[in-house]
Structure 1
């Protein structure tokens, strides 16, 4: 996923959340409707001025749109993560055991960063219980 595709996804989601038609968004942002359609479909590169015009319509700063787009790219690049819903969060976890299991499974496509995140989340949950 490139930055333009990610920005178009963010803008489309924001437009949907704001319950705006493309025509309404076009008028409010002062961007020609045809240009906006092409941007939202990812058919046209978006420029900084257009982001600056669109952001206030959604109650955002331009950098927030970029930050959201970058997070989408990171998520797409990360790939799949283990299904943590099958884990019993009440059982204590030994981080060393988890890390060793993740390292042993590294050749099987297990995302070690995801395992580390899981350990941090479970540590935080256990701290809250105490």
Structure 2
């Protein structure tokens, strides 16, 4: 029985499309040439560029981005923004929020009613008592 690759998400399709654009801009190097540069088998490269079989792994994505001179993080951000601009929901990808806001919210909800400032003052007072003792 034949195995099917995992269903490609909108994001993974956009990744393949973007990588295809990069390949075109690079003069359309052959899959065998890209295999030499990336270490990815040429048949696997063909699958990635033609959106067949399994979706690209993170390592394959990184290797291809770097081969084309692109920062993988920048590429992910660009693809996400492009999809959002087209109205394609990335509901399984968390929205970008300020990490500091998220951390503060987590701390605020985790305090269980404890006055953190009073607790800190108490610790400072205890530390000063311990420092004064010989």
TM range (shorter): 0.5 to 0.7
User: Matches of 1:45 and 1:55 in 2, distance apart?
Assistant: 15
Partner of 2:40: 31
Contact 1:10 1:68 in 2 (8 A): no
Offset at residue 9 of structure 1 (A)? 0.4
SS in 2 for 1:77: coil
Contact 2:11 2:83 in 1 (8 A): yes
The answer to whether residue 21 in structure 2 is matched with residue 16 in structure 1 is: no
Offset at residue 65 of structure 1 (A)? 2.2
Counterpart selection for 2:12 from 4, 15, 18: 4
Gaps of 5+ in 2: 1-8, 89-134
Offset at residue 14 of structure 1 (A)? 0.4
User: Matches of 2:17 and 2:23 in 1, distance apart?
Assistant: 10
Structure 1 runs of 4+ aligned residues shifted over 3 Å read: none
Question: What's the TM-score, normalizing by structure 1?
Answer: 0.53
Change (3 A) 1:76 1:23: farther
Aligned residues: 78
Q: After superposition, what is the alpha-carbon deviation per residue over 1:79-128, rounded to whole angstroms, capped at 9, x for unaligned? A: xxxxxxxxxxxxxxxxxxxxxxxxxxxxxxxxxxxxxxxxxxxxxxxxxx
After TM superposition, list the pairs within 5 Å mapping 1:84-99 onto structure 2.
none
Q: Indicate the RMSD between aligned Cα atoms, in angstroms.
A: 1.8
Change (3 A) 1:22 1:71: farther
Counterpart selection for 1:64 from 64, 67, 74: 74
Instruction: Select the structure that is richer in helix.
Output: 1
Question: What's the TM-score, normalizing by structure 2?
Answer: 0.52
Offset at residue 27 of structure 1 (A)? 1.5
Contact 1:22 1:36 in 2 (8 A): yes
Change (3 A) 1:5 1:18: same
